[in-house]
A and B are shown apart, each in its own frame.
Chain A
Amino acid sequence: MASVSIRNVRKSYGPVEIIKGVSIDIQDGEFVILVGPSGCGKSTLLRMIAGLEEISGGTVAIDDRVVNDVPPKDRDIAMVFQNYALYPHMTIADNMSFALRLKNTAKSEIAAKVERAAGILGLGPLLGRFPRQLSGGQRQRVAMGRAIVRDPKVFLFDEPLSNLDAKLRVQMRTEIKEMHQRLKTTTVYVTHDQIEAMTMADKIVVMHDGIIEQIGAPLDLYDNPANMFVAGFIGSPAMNFIPGSIGGDGFTTEDGSRLPLGGRVPAASDGRPAVYGVRPEHFRLADEGLAAEVVVVEPTGSETQMVLRPLGVKAGREDRKRELTWVLRERTGARPGEVVRIAPDPALAHLFNPDTGLRL
């Protein structure tokens, strides 16, 4: 168990800067998730913590000891790779005990630790097999077992569930969370699946193009996104953004509809252009609301998701971005082509600066 402190870390490949000054403080026992779109530098950052990638600038410290120049083998971290990276020529038991055997741990102790980890993960009957004889989910578990056995200071995961099918992914998500609650090992977990992030993390770090957009608890990010990027990235389906301007005590969309602001009008902002952000689940039917045509209805059983096209927005590729998503808990008889009137809950809506993306 340990804290990890990342201070102003940079990474360049030649002239290209991939990580542009990132600072994160990870407390002892915390479960931190790095999210962000593909290519934003999550894996690179994780690999720098592991020591697999050289750090171009700044410091990484584990338990207050700067480890920039410490090789991976001396950092006492365990990593679970996206492709599991199990040693193909070793049995599952040997895979799990590899690190301990390197440290010349006593045989009896190795056996006990492997047994315990196998018990936690339900791998007991598989210990004598080779990785090629396991299913994807089982391999994934072995990879975790290999990490648990070592009882390291920090667990690092790089998209460990992305190769699993949807059902197994949900199951493993729960297992990893349970494992963390049980072992309380400091964990850094990379994913670009924001549901994984929301459900598992103590703290989410949203990355974008090599910088941190926001750090916070899952619901905090959900309720108070610092900018449009975070607002659009966290939450599924994504937040609706409606361009327009602030005027009087409300918001006027580009095609002239009025949306309520609930008296939260920022000072001295009359006529100022802004983007109105509202989550799909924060609309409700209202007689005075925005008129929109139903384009698609997608019932999932527990809820219904609808794509709406505000009247005045033309059908077609160009205007796809101006379509709105609405998620409602109850079932609905609405059919495509029908026109509905919906209004956002002003208390849960956000306003953003269209130029900087920052929340107003």
Chain B
Amino acid sequence: MSRPLRKLLDKAGMAVCVLLLVSPALLFFLWMLSLSLKFEIDNGAYPPILIPDRFAWKNYTTIFEGNSFLLYFWNSLIVTGAATLFALLVGVPAGYGIARMRAHKSAVVIMIARMTPGLSFLIPLFLLFQWLGLLGTLWPQIIIHLVVTVPIVIWIMIGYFETTPMELEEAAMVDGATRWQIFAKVALPIAKPGIVVAFILSVIFSWNNFVFGIVLASRETRTLPVAVYNMLSFEQVSWGPLAAAALVVTLPVLILTVAAQRQIVAGLTAGAVKGG
């Protein structure tokens, strides 16, 4: 076989594989988009319509009119923001400590905490929050979201710190840096891409979480996923607005991921050791 042809085939094969892998997600997404732009009557049409003749922008405007959508958006922002911020503050140093002390046992404990179904500690915590009189506020949700965000951050940071060359820290040690200075001036800046990844995953998981909100949120403290869920259960199921709402909920996370993509890929450690 000629070489150019072979190269072409290789490329085509790669393209097919990639397409196969991402198509479920992509199709699903396109279908949501289509749904969110269709009027109710078009939904039941057979054969199904992907691109409707008339766009139902109304589906989107209604989200922002009723349902106190902006309040829920704000709630989500606060809960996810606070839970992620705190997780980074605690999780990055913790991940560093575990990676450097090779305390893999504690890493496993954290993993187990992550795997335990959230519902199992929801009930006691619910009672605790009630006793503390925090139930009308966002605090219970912020605190319980930490169960999700802290382990993610720690877990990712352990992996990241373990791959940063120990020689760099030894060089800093010889250069006269204290433990804290080594962390702040060498380990932390090098781990920046890792922190970005941890941040994004933490935001995604916290943003999308809805089990905690269902139990802990009152009418005023609902987060977005809970609000969308409520649309589903209390009004009659109207697919158009529902899909529109779901898309709007996903949008911030989507934008965040796309925006930070480059950061994640750009490995900062290049050049630290020979051949980098």
Contact = CB atoms under 8 A, between A and B. Distances in A.
A103 B271 contact: no
Contacts, number: 89
Contact of B271 (A52, A131, A150): A131
B175 A102 contact: yes
B181 A87 contact: no
A221 interface: no
B274 A87 contact: no
B174 A78 contact: yes
Interface residues of B, number: 26
Interface string A88-107: 11000000001100110000
B268 interface: yes
A322 B270 CA distance: 48
Interface string A102-139: 11000000000000000000000000001111101001
Chain A contact residues (Cβ within 8 angstroms of B): what range? 20 to 34
Interface stretch (B51-59, B165-173, B242-250, B253-261): B165-173
Contacts of B177: 73, 98, 102
Contacts of B174: 50-52, 72-73, 75, 77-79
B271 A130 contact: yes
Nearest to A149: B175
A87 B171 CA distance: 9
A86 B272 contact: yes
B190 interface: yes
A81 B170 contact: yes
B178 interface: yes
A83 B165 contact: yes
Given A52-B170, A83-B165, A73 B270 contact: no
A225 to B, nearest CB: 34
Question: Which of B167, B174, B190, B272 has the largest number of chain A CB atoms within 10 A?
Answer: B174
A88 B173 contact: no
Interface of B: 165, 167-168, 170-178, 181, 185-186, 189-190, 192, 268-274, 276
Closest 5 CB pairs of A and B: A132-B271, A131-B271, A99-B175, A85-B171, A83-B273
